[in-house]
Amino acid sequence: MSGFLAVLVVVLIFVVIFQIAKASEYVSILKGEKKSRQQNNRINGFLLIAFLILGLIGVWWCNDILKDKILGESASDHGEGIDSMIKVTLILTGIVFVITQILLFWFAYKYQEKEGRKAFYFPHNNKLEVIWTVIPAIALTVLVAFGLKHWFRLTSEAPKDAAVVEITGQQFNWLFRYPGKDGLLGSKFYKNINNATNPVGQDWTDDLNKDDFMASEMHIVVGKPVKLIIGAKDVVHDVGLAHFRLKMDAVPGIPTTLWFTPKFTTAEMKKKTNNPDFTYEISCDQMCGEGHYSMRGVIVVETQEEYDAWVAKQVSQYSLAHTSDAPAAPAEKADSAATKTVAAN
């Protein structure tokens, strides 16, 4: 409430200043066009300085109250580097922003129209052009180099002991496939897709598919690298992992990959954020249709013991797709079971 009142007061101040300016403008018009213009310049110059001061205070205030509240600490080791890069970028661009804005508004105030002052104009200056071209180019090259360093790291080959999870985007949800005990995902073909029994098009003639299983949410182990193999069934989606500071396009027919190591379990993040309902989320960061807003996935980061217990409960997709192929119970056993039931009654 106090924040709302502060904003309301600032808005009212600007409204009052605007009304005073308009009244002054009307008065100055009666005095003559030249005097009116000069009077307007003085008023505008004062407003520019006021806007500069209030604007810089607002920038500092927003940064102070929001810097640690938007996403909090990165939940992956890769994310630490991304956060550092963002801080360096904000510091460099922030310094340039403050300097240029102060010069812009101060010059507009200082060099307003006055009697006996004539504007100086020059069409060309090699020295200035070199300065404002070379310095930004060097700064941006350094920032791009930092960005490429982190990009090559998260898209590089994952460690050999990394877990593997396949994420497939479809309008408007995510499908997760895990390899079985062999640690290898079976092949798939888009013509095999059946939304009821084979949602990603696994090739059942490939023995590697016999133990692969699918899940409604992604489970990964804290402190253990995980490699994501990302794709899509229909249109371009984008796997957004805000808490891990990662994102990657999901493109139909073109698998993309990235890997990272989670630092905190979901339970630990609930304590860190003081939010008992906290969950790691997968968002779709690419507009993909009318249901784009609802395309949300859940990631559960847990200990190795918890993960192993969860995996033990999973059933392979092959078994689910071939339940009708299971052999019927022998007649003798069926009769025996029926006899025991009757005897019990």
Q: State the pLDDT at residue 332.
A: 46
Assess whether 265 and 308 both reside in one domain. yes
User: How far is the C-alpha of 186 from the C-alpha of 201, rounded, in Å?
Assistant: 10
Instruction: Report how many helices (DSSP H) and strands (DSSP E) the chain contains, helices first.
Output: 8, 10
DSSP 295: -
Amino acid identity at 235: V
Q: State the pLDDT at residue 340.
A: 42
**Domain-embedded: residue 342:** no
Assess whether 276 and 291 both reside in one domain. yes
Q: State the pLDDT at residue 166.
A: 95
231-255: pLDDT as tens digits: 999 999 999 998 999 999 999 989 9
Tell me the longest C-alpha to C-alpha distance in the chain: 118
Q: Which domain holds residue 221?
A: 163-323
Supply the CATH number for residue 196's domain.
2.60.40.420
**Domain-embedded: residue 343:** no
**Domain-embedded: residue 87:** yes
Assess whether 182 and 296 both reside in one domain. yes
179-207: pLDDT as tens digits: 988 889 999 998 898 888 899 999 999 99
Task: Report strand pairing: 296-302 vs 218-221.
Answer: parallel
Q: State the pLDDT at residue 33.
A: 63
Assess whether 199 and 140 both reside in one domain. no
Q: State the pLDDT at residue 235.
A: 93
What's the mean pLDDT in 110-135?
A: 81
Assess whether 178 and 269 both reside in one domain. yes
203-234: pLDDT as tens digits: 999 999 999 999 999 999 999 999 999 999 99
Assess whether 260 and 146 both reside in one domain. no
pLDDT at 336 over 50: no
Place of tokens 């999973």: 314
Assess whether 29 and 11 both reside in one domain. yes
How many domains, in total, are found in the chain? 3
Q: Which of 62, 83, 66, 91 shows the shortest CA–CA distance to 242?
A: 83
Assess whether 145 and 182 both reside in one domain. no
**Domain-embedded: residue 329:** no
Amino acid identity at 211: D
**Domain-embedded: residue 274:** yes
Assess whether 275 and 232 both reside in one domain. yes
User: How far is the C-alpha of 178 from the C-alpha of 168, rounded, in Å?
Assistant: 12
Q: State the pLDDT at residue 79.
A: 86
The three-class DSSP label of residue 177 is strand
- Cα-Cα-Cα-Cα torsion 238, 242, 243, 247, nearest 10 degrees, comes to 40
Q: State the pLDDT at residue 302.
A: 94
pTM above 0.75, yes or no: no
**Domain-embedded: residue 117:** no
The neighbour count for residue 8, using CB atoms within 10 Å, is 10
pLDDT at 273 over 60: yes
User: How far is the C-alpha of 168 from the C-alpha of 239, rounded, in Å?
Assistant: 9
Q: Could you give the count of Cα atoms lying within 13 Å of 279 in the half-sphere of its Cβ?
A: 12
What's the mean pLDDT in 5-27?
A: 74
Assess whether 173 and 306 both reside in one domain. yes
Assess whether 34 and 45 both reside in one domain. yes
Assess whether 173 and 266 both reside in one domain. yes
Q: State the pLDDT at residue 333.
A: 43
